[in-house]
A and B are shown apart, each in its own frame.
Chain A
């Protein structure tokens, strides 16, 4: 399971012989699975049905009738193509940066602090610490820090790096920065979890067999941490592609940074254009399914999921 990685370091699993079948298993599974069927699976049906609805003849805002209006998709794409493309490019860029930032941290905690349980525990706590304070408060704090007459922006202006009318908030940079910041822990933890299980004798064996440190990393350490890298990139890419807080105008974004999530929110909750919002959501989900399965297949770790 790719996402077991979230749980940090776990003891070795015991070989389990699944023993009996039948009624007890069904009793254990049924309530939870029925719950998911009702509140996770059927909403997809609702979402698809809504994405095909047409406006009610009465013309009341927010009232739609069941139909088969494929035009909603055409409209959504033609209207919001820039936001769609921006979502995926922001997600891709932020994921790559987050990977570059997080890998050394995960490596340090898992390998360098391996025999120091207290240090390791403290560092792990520091990694997850941002989780304990509302994501919105943190993002808002960045907004204040980067706001137009903030210390940072003024300093940049004083040094002539920034022009007098330059700004940070509302730029692509600010949004990607905020996304990277928010998802560093999601990237770090799974990579840590993989590296934590890395047998360091294999690294020693690499050195013993004439591989220099860089080659040892490339041929041994990194390939063996790949499951964590894959979970981490998925745990980062997927939520970012649907995020709308960071890119919101009230946070780090501006008129030119809106992502798919912002459009879905605006259509669904503000102007009550449910069909367009649903069509966008369906497309987002479809794109994720296609991208993720291609990615997982390409990295040859299908057994992860």
Chain B
């Protein structure tokens, strides 16, 4: 057999790049076990204290809880609104279709700092106090288009004949939606909700412009960076990472088992 360099070059490159991508993740994880006192910069020895006592730094915990509240609220609203828009876009004919598509596309093509500053300027003009409410409003706004795009892809793969079959079998429009359309769309809706949650949870720039005194987890990290990020922040970051990876792996393995079963 011939020896081909190309055969090994690409896998080697991919492996190295993935290692490179993992470096800061590994660093964050390792330093969550650092026996640090105030600043978490130099390795001072292994400890589990940071994990066992995450709320030792009260601000970290508060910020984390705020992030969860914001992400859950924004995800709920944007998933509902976005799903409705996605269904309308695929299944209905209406005027201003192009304008609608453009308005949905724009948030994806606008730098966060512009959206953040614009919204903040509007809150100033309206005289609204910045805080939890304004952050949720902002996050719902910028996650909405992502939800529409994700759910739309799913609606587009849905055969309208299934709904017609439902109607043929005596289901009224409401029953058709809840018993046929919704269950079939559910994977797409869940994927969209997970995406919205992740985007909201990790958002910093828009949050910083519209949160006033409210601290979210990324905002806490940003502020803390000047003097050194406490190890408790590494714990929360690592914990979220592990949970998210576990969910994704579980979904992957499940779907690959399903595929293999189908292949047989």
Contact = CB atoms under 8 A, between A and B. Distances in A.
Instruction: Answer yes or no: do A and B interact.
Output: yes
A39 interface: yes
Interface in A259-286: 260-261, 264-265, 268-269, 274, 277-278, 281, 284-285
Contacts of A46: 118, 121-122, 124-125
A185 B234 CA distance: 22
A133 B241 contact: yes
Contacts of A274: 121, 124
Interface string A36-48: 1101111111110
A25 B28 CA distance: 47
Interface in A76-120: 101, 104-105, 107-108, 112, 117-118
Contact of B117 (A21, A25, A278): A278
A105 B225 CA distance: 32
B168 to A, nearest CB: 15
Contacts of B148: 32
Given A50-B124, A108-B10, A132-B240, A141 B105 contact: no
A3 B85 contact: no
Contact of A132 (B112, B149, B198): B198
A158 B231 CA distance: 30
Interface string B87-122: 110111110000010011111111111110111111
A39 B205 contact: no
Among A22, A37, A125, A234, chain B packs the most CB atoms within 10 A around the CB of A125
B113 A133 contact: no
Interface string B193-229: 0000010001011001100000001100110011001
A174 interface: no
B114 A285 contact: yes
Contacts of A6: 146, 149-150
A131 interface: yes
Interface string B67-92: 00000000000000110110110111
B157 A118 contact: no
B111 A141 contact: no
Contact of B153 (A4, A24, A129): A4
Interface stretch (A160-168, A197-205, A242-250): A242-250
Given A20-B93, A104-B10, A36 B111 contact: no
A36 B104 contact: yes
Contact of B23 (A134, A145, A238): A145
Contacts of B153: 4, 7, 10, 13
Nearest to A149: B42
Contact of A135 (B17, B118, B218): B218
B14 interface: yes
Contacts of A234: 109
B79 to A, nearest CB: 11
B132 interface: no
A33 B198 contact: no
B137 interface: yes
A222 interface: no
Interface residues of A, number: 103
Contacts of A21: 92-94
Contacts of B47: none
Contacts of B113: 242-244, 260-261, 264-265, 281, 284
- What size tier do the contact residues of chain B reach? 35 or more
Residue picked from A17, A261, A269, A281, most chain B C-beta under 10 Å: A281
A61 interface: no
B22 interface: yes
A32 B255 contact: no
Given A145-B23, A288-B110, A134 B10 contact: no
Contacts of A128: 248
Given A141-B28, A274-B124, A288 B109 contact: yes
Contacts of A17: 160
Contact of A137 (B84, B149, B237): B237
Nearest to A278: B121
Contact of A25 (B88, B152, B221): B88
B24 interface: yes
A28 interface: yes
Contacts of B21: 126-127, 129-130, 181, 184-185
Interface string A141-164: 111110100000000000000000
6 contacts: A104-B10, A104-B17, A133-B237, A138-B25, A145-B23, A250-B226
Q: Which 3 residue pairs of A and B lie closest in terms of their CB atoms, listed nearest first?
A: A242-B111, A43-B118, A141-B24
Interface of B: 6, 10-11, 13-14, 17-18, 20-25, 27-28, 31, 41, 81-82, 84-85, 87-88, 90-94, 100, 103-115, 117-122, 124-125, 137-138, 140-141, 144-146, 148-150, 152-154, 156-160, 191, 198, 202, 204-205, 208-209, 217-218, 221-222, 225-226, 229, 233-234, 237-238, 240-241, 244-245, 248-249, 252-253, 255-256, 259-260
Given A33-B85, A141-B31, A245-B204, 10 more contacts: A35-B81, A39-B137, A50-B124, A118-B253, A121-B252, A129-B245, A132-B240, A141-B27, A238-B110, A269-B209
